[in-house]
């Protein structure tokens, strides 16, 4: 008996000792799990493992995932049998403690799982898993001798089958631990993971000729012409043609155009160039102002810009965030450049956030001109490998200190951040709508800066009301730039009353006589025109004149948009499309009319009125290709396009030198959008689009066509009264309990069954009302109530300023957990969007 007891005690002590020595790691997996999972580790692993490293761990029956170590501890999980870490994938941590803190903050603030944050935060090539697909890198000549035996086996298998899953590779090698091998192959660029390579677009440089400085001199020229008239009649002809083209159009002249006009060959022009009479030049360079400027020398600020620069520096002495409200074309970029320069002198990293990469090639080129190799670019159009490289460079602080990036750049592993610039801070692209985390990168940048004691500069010509409100409440500093660079006047904005124009029959298609007249004048002077219509396609609605039938999407609650160029009817929500119907699908009548209009219809109308001009369109349909944006932008810059028609893409900070007129086809759809921010957005969009006009010397013109020219927002746009607009809108927001006064949380319920959505939404609404009383709105179907076969219902919770946001969220989550536990609701998709705008 006693012996037995002693035995037991000894065993107990042994177990305890072992338990005391066992280590566990909480691993964040890139999955929608409520919490990190705890894994065990071997003694050999324990010495090496650190928080922030990647590990390969088993999950479920057969899967392997890459996860991040969030915490190392000795608490054995009580509720489940631990599995063991299979492999440690890093030598040193690749996620910093600051990043982990930010992830936790995001998960808590936006009510999502930390695994979802991880997935958004790391380039997918760092998160290999058993489902990952691997391909050979076709861009690279692979040196077979340099591959290890295992790598060679994978290489060989990929010759047979071009795509392999990691799981299949495990089978081929007869090995479970394959992630490090694949990772090494990806690092060596032998394979690519999950994605195709992104190729850099190189804008085509167009060659032009102009008369050289020396021959601008009248005497020189006369002498030259006198001798060539007989000796080289072809050259003489070219010179005459040159002057006649120059007199009739103010545009640049290509050698080809000149040769055609003089009825000669390009070789004649070449000889004129070699004689030094004509100079060749490339417009791309001209526009960028390369000449005379040596790369690396920073711009000389104007007195206004200097004042703003100094005001920002002073503001940063006691505030962390500064809002730079600078009118379009005031040279905000130049001020940014000076601020960046100061950071580089202190060896700090700078994050420069932009709303969209495709539309910022101009800006990137400008920054690269000043900072050369210090600039790195990080965005979703990079290849996966490129993104991994940038990630590693930021982590190791090798390569450039300036990172230009879209919203996901806030997740980079900064070490020594000094400044974050958020350009066009009002842009909605900073918010991620789907999937979770539904974060706003502008807001996270403030938090990120705090972690480093760094500063944030928010820049915009039309600040968001949130930022403006923060500035008015002195949470943020406010600095203004009210003058355009070079003393260019702000564009003259004029409203055109469509009601009158229709009544007086002064319309041609969707163009008023006023707009047509201004366009003719502008084009006649060799200037360019931008036309804005916030809708793509030819016409959003097709309607039968006999029975009123209009074709609808079978999957979504919207009518199909008519696209003329490919004779199709398309759904803009799910992509469903059918051929254009010549007969009504209801009654067979052939009398079908279109209602409303999009960019394509404008383009068609333009082609019949302005036959001699080159017209192009920039919207989602024409910019799908890889380099489509860049192509249109550079062609427009090089003046190969005279009239550019487009959607809101045109509003995003583009800097064109030769645009004298901007026409807004119809402002009313913007004003009537059913959203509490519609007026703010309309103001921002119109001011931004208008800002594309007259950016050099001569004042630009803007014409806004509308059925409601007296609308207060349109009046405020024409008189450029941002403050008045902001004060009025903020007052209304307060009255109607909307942001920034109140916080909003939107709960979205989705399911393919209509009744199920209604029941679920009713249940939730009741539960929320019990907790939050009158602060719950809905449930309500959004304007498009069914998308991709799923019905959608919104419930809106308004959080008053006096309430604790944290407590509200905790309560909300508890309700949602009870909801999910109800069997009947298990299939309902529920998502929560904090700050859903």
List the binding residues for Zn(2+).
544, 547, 553, 556, 571, 574, 584, 587
Which residue in this structure is represented by tokens 């509720």? 79
Contact string 800-819 vs ligand ADP (x = CB under 6 A): --------------------
CB 582 within 8 A of CB 588: no
10 Å Cβ neighbour count for 334? 21
| Sole window of 179-187, 326-334, 583-591, 639-647 interacting with Zn ion (rule: CB under 5 A) | 583-591
360 counts as binding ligand ADP under rule CB under 6 A: no
Q: What is the DSSP string of 223-279?
A: HHHHHHHHH-HHHHHHHHHHHHHHHH--S-B-HHHHHHHTTS-HHHHHHHHHTTSEE
Cβ contacts of 221 within 8 Å, gap of 6 or more: 211, 215
Q: 333 is in the binding site of which of Zn ion, ligand ADP, none (Cβ under 5 to 8 A by kind)?
A: ligand ADP
Q: Name all contacts of 576-582 with Cβ < 8 Å and 24+ positions apart.
A: 578/551, 581/542, 581/551
The Cα 440–Cα 110 span in angstroms is 10
Output helix, strand, coil percentages for the chain, rounded to the nearest 5: 40, 20, 35
User: Which of 811, 780, 818, 525 has its CA nearest to residue 674?
Assistant: 780
Q: In whole angstroms, how close is the CB of 281 to ligand ADP at the nearest point? A: 18
Question: Looking only at residues 312 through 331 of this chain, which bind ligand ADP when binding is defined by CB under 6 A?
Answer: 326, 328-331
463 counts as binding ligand ADP under rule CB under 6 A: no
Considering the complex, state which of residue 34 and residue 486 has its C-beta at the smaller distance from ligand ADP: 486
- Of 576, 673, 676, 803, the one binding Zn ion (CB under 5 A) is 576
201 counts as binding Zn ion under rule CB under 5 A: no
The Cα 66–Cα 57 span in angstroms is 6
- Of 249, 589, 719, 770, the one binding Zn ion (CB under 5 A) is 589
Say whether 617 sits in a helix, a strand or coil.
Answer: strand
| Sequence ranges of the binding site | 544, 547, 553, 556, 571, 574, 584, 587
Please return the burial class of 46, using the count of CB atoms within 10 Å of its CB with bins 0-12, 13-18 and 19+.
middle
688 counts as binding ligand ADP under rule CB under 6 A: no
447 counts as binding Zn ion under rule CB under 5 A: no
Q: In whole angstroms, how close is the CB of 285 to ligand ADP at the nearest point? A: 14
Q: In whole angstroms, how close is the CB of 363 to ligand ADP at the nearest point? A: 8
Q: In whole angstroms, how close is the CB of 345 to Zn ion at the nearest point? A: 54
- Of 52, 67, 115, 299, the one binding ligand ADP (CB under 6 A) is 299
Which residue's beta carbon is nearest to the bound ligand ADP? 331
| Sole window of 206-214, 568-576, 593-601, 803-811 interacting with Zn ion (rule: CB under 5 A) | 568-576
The Cα 587–Cα 244 span in angstroms is 60
Q: In whole angstroms, how close is the CB of 43 to ligand ADP at the nearest point? A: 58
Please return the burial class of 25, using the count of CB atoms within 10 Å of its CB with bins 0-12, 13-18 and 19+.
buried
Q: 606 is in the binding site of which of ligand ADP, Zn ion, none (Cβ under 5 to 8 A by kind)?
A: none
User: Which of 424, 403, 417 has its CA nearest to residue 447?
Assistant: 417
491 counts as binding ligand ADP under rule CB under 6 A: no
Contact string 608-647 vs ligand ADP (x = CB under 6 A): ----------------------------------------
The Cα 246–Cα 346 span in angstroms is 51
Alpha-helix residue ranges (DSSP H) falling in 691-780? 712-718, 722-735, 754-772
Q: In whole angstroms, how close is the CB of 784 to Zn ion at the nearest point? A: 9
Q: In whole angstroms, how close is the CB of 798 to ligand ADP at the nearest point? A: 35
584 counts as binding Zn ion under rule CB under 5 A: yes
385 counts as binding ligand ADP under rule CB under 6 A: no
605 counts as binding ligand ADP under rule CB under 6 A: no
- Of 334, 425, 466, 619, the one binding ligand ADP (CB under 6 A) is 334
Q: Is the peptide bond before 26 cis (omega within 30 degrees of 0)?
A: no
Size of the site for ligand ADP (CB under 6 A): 16
Say whether 556 sits in a helix, a strand or coil.
Answer: coil
427 counts as binding ligand ADP under rule CB under 6 A: no
User: Which of 740, 775, 808 has its CA nearest to residue 108?
Assistant: 808
The β-bridge relationship of strands 701-706 and 492-497 is parallel
45 counts as binding ligand ADP under rule CB under 6 A: no
Q: 587 is in the binding site of which of Zn ion, ligand ADP, none (Cβ under 5 to 8 A by kind)?
A: Zn ion
578 counts as binding Zn ion under rule CB under 5 A: no
The Cα 374–Cα 403 span in angstroms is 8
Considering the complex, state which of residue 108 and residue 365 has its C-beta at the smaller distance from ligand ADP: 365
CB 765 within 8 A of CB 815: no
574 counts as binding Zn ion under rule CB under 5 A: yes
SS (H, E, C) 384-400: HHHHHHHHHHHHHCCCC
Please give the order of strands across the beta sheet that includes 163-165.
163-165, 133-136, 191-193
- Of 132, 183, 235, 333, the one binding ligand ADP (CB under 6 A) is 333
CB 241 within 8 A of CB 256: no
183 counts as binding ligand ADP under rule CB under 6 A: no
- Of 586, 593, 672, 822, the one binding Zn ion (CB under 5 A) is 586
Considering the complex, state which of residue 544 and residue 670 has its C-beta at the smaller distance from Zn ion: 544
- Of 279, 480, 655, 727, the one binding ligand ADP (CB under 6 A) is 655
| Sole window of 76-84, 145-153, 582-590, 661-669 interacting with Zn ion (rule: CB under 5 A) | 582-590
| Sole window of 296-304, 472-480, 791-799, 817-825 interacting with ligand ADP (rule: CB under 6 A) | 296-304
For the packed helices 149-160 and 179-187, what is the interaxial angle rounded to 10 degrees? 80
Please return the burial class of 798, using the count of CB atoms within 10 Å of its CB with bins 0-12, 13-18 and 19+.
buried
Q: No. of H helices and E strands in the chain?
A: 29, 35
CB 470 within 8 A of CB 476: yes
User: Which of 426, 379, 423, 367 has its CA nearest to residue 405?
Assistant: 379
Q: 589 is in the binding site of which of Zn ion, ligand ADP, none (Cβ under 5 to 8 A by kind)?
A: Zn ion
658 counts as binding ligand ADP under rule CB under 6 A: no
553 counts as binding Zn ion under rule CB under 5 A: yes
Q: In whole angstroms, how close is the CB of 651 to ligand ADP at the nearest point? A: 12
| Sole window of 247-255, 450-458, 556-564, 613-621 interacting with Zn ion (rule: CB under 5 A) | 556-564
User: Which of 363, 187, 212 has its CA nearest to residue 277?
Assistant: 212
Considering the complex, state which of residue 584 and residue 662 has its C-beta at the smaller distance from Zn ion: 584
Q: What is the DSSP letter of 374?
A: G
Q: In whole angstroms, how close is the CB of 354 to ligand ADP at the nearest point? A: 11
694 counts as binding ligand ADP under rule CB under 6 A: no
| Sole window of 301-309, 316-324, 640-648, 824-832 interacting with ligand ADP (rule: CB under 6 A) | 301-309
Which residue in this structure is represented by tokens 């390579």? 197
Q: In whole angstroms, how close is the CB of 329 to ligand ADP at the nearest point? A: 4
Q: 655 is in the binding site of which of Zn ion, ligand ADP, none (Cβ under 5 to 8 A by kind)?
A: ligand ADP
The β-bridge relationship of strands 349-353 and 278-282 is unpaired
785 counts as binding Zn ion under rule CB under 5 A: no
Q: In whole angstroms, how close is the CB of 759 to ligand ADP at the nearest point? A: 51
| Sole window of 92-100, 299-307, 372-380, 665-673 interacting with ligand ADP (rule: CB under 6 A) | 299-307
Cα–Cα–Cα angle for 579, 584, 588, nearest 5°? 120
**Under the rule (CB under 5 A), what is the footprint of Zn ion?**
544, 546-547, 549, 553, 555-556, 571, 573-574, 576, 584, 586-587, 589
**Under the rule (CB under 6 A), what is the footprint of ligand ADP?**
299-302, 305, 326, 328-334, 485, 655, 695
């Amino acid at each position: 008996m006693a012996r037995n007891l002693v035995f037991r005690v000894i065993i107990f002590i042994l177990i305890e000792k072992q338990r005391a020595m066992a280590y566990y790691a909480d691993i964040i997996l890139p999955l929608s799990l409520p919490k990190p999972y705890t894994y065990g580790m071997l003694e050999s692993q324990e010495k090496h493992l650190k928080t922030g490293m990647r590990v390969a761990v088993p999950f479920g029956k057969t899967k392997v995932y890459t996860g991040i170590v969030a915490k190392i501890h000795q608490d054995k999980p009580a509720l489940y049998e631990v599995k063991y870490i299979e492999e440690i994938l890093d030598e040193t941590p690749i996620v910093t403690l600051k990043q982990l803190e930010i992830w936790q903050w995001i998960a808590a603030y936006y009510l999502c799982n930390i695994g979802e944050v991880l997935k958004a935060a790391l380039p997918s090539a760092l998160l290999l898993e058993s489902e990952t697909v691997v391909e050979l890198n076709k861009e690279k000549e692979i040196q077979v001798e340099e591959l290890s035996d295992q790598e060679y086996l994978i290489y060989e298998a990929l010759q047979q089958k071009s795509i392999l899953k990691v799981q299949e590779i495990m089978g081929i090698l007869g090995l479970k631990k394959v992630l490090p091998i694949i990772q090494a192959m990806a690092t060596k660029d032998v394979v690519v993971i999950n994605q195709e390579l992104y190729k850099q677009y190189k804008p085509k440089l167009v060659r032009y000729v102009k008369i050289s400085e020396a021959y601008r001199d009248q005497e020189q020229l006369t002498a030259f012409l006198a001798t060539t008239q007989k000796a080289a009649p072809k050259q003489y002809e070219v010179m005459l043609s040159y002057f006649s083209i120059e007199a009739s159009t103010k545009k640049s002249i290509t050698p080809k155009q000149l040769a055609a006009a003089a009825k000669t060959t390009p070789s004649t022009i070449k000889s004129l160039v070699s004689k030094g009479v004509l100079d060749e030049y490339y417009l791309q360079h001209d526009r960028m102002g390369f000449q005379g400027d040596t790369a690396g020398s920073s711009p000389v600020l104007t007195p206004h810009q200097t004042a703003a620069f100094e005001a920002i520096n002073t503001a940063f002495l006691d505030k962390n965030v500064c809002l730079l409200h600078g009118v379009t074309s005031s040279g905000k970029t130049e001020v940014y450049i000076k601020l960046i320069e100061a950071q580089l002198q202190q060896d700090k990293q700078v994050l420069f956030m932009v709303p969209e990469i495709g539309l910022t090639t101009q800006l990137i080129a400008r920054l690269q001109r000043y900072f050369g190799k210090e600039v790195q670019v990080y965005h979703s159009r990079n290849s996966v490998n490129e993104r991994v490289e940038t990630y590693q460079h930021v982590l190791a602080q090798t390569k450039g200190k300036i990172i230009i990036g879209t919203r996901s750049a806030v997740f980079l592993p900064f070490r020594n951040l000094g400044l974050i610039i958020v350009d066009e801070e009002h842009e909605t692209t900073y918010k991620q709508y789907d999937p979770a985390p539904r974060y706003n990168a502008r807001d996270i940048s403030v938090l990120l800066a705090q972690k480093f004691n760094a500063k944030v500069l928010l820049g915009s010509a039309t600040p968001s009301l949130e930022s403006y409100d923060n500035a008015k409440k002195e949470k943020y500093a406010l600095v203004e730039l009210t003058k355009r660079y070079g003393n260019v006047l702000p564009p003259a904005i004029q409203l055109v009353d469509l009601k009158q124009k229709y009544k007086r029959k002064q319309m041609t298609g969707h163009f008023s006589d006023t707009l047509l007249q201004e366009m003719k004048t502008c084009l006649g002077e060799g200037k360019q025109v931008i036309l804005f219509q916030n809708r793509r396609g030819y016409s959003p609605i097709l309607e039968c004149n006999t029975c009123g039938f209009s074709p609808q999407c079978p999957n979504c609650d919207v009518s199909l948009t008519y696209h003329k160029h490919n004779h199709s009817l398309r759904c803009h929500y799910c992509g469903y499309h059918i051929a254009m119907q010549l007969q009504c699908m209801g009654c067979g009548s052939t009398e079908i009319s279109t209602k409303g209009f999009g960019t394509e219809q404008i383009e068609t109308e333009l082609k019949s009125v302005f036959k001699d001009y080159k017209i192009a369109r920039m919207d989602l349909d024409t910019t799908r290709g890889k380099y489509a944006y860049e192509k249109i932008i550079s062609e427009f810059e090089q003046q190969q396009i005279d009239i550019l028609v487009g959607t809101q893409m045109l509003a995003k900070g583009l800097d064109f030198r030769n645009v004298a007129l901007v026409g807004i086809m119809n402002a009313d759809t913007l004003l009537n959008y059913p959203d509490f921010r519609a007026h703010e957005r309309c103001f921002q969009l119109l001011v931004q689009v208008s800002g594309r006009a007259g950016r050099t010397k001569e004042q630009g013109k803007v014409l806004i066509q509308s059925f409601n020219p007296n609308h207060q927002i349109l009046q405020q746009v024409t008189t450029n009264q941002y403050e008045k607009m902001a004060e009025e809108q903020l007052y209304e927001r307060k009255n109607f309990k909307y942001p920034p006064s109140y916080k909003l949380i939107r709960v979205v319920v989705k399911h393919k069954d209509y009744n199920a959505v209604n029941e679920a939404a009713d249940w939730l609404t009741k539960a929320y009302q019990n907790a939050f009383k009158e602060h719950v709105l809905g449930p309500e179907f959004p304007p498009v109530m069914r998308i991709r076969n799923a019905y959608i219902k919104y419930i809106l919770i308004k959080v008053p300023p006096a309430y604790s946001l944290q407590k509200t969220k905790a309560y909300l989550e508890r309700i949602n957990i009870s909801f999910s536990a109800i069997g009947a609701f298990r299939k309902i998709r529920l998502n929560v969007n904090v700050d859903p705008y």
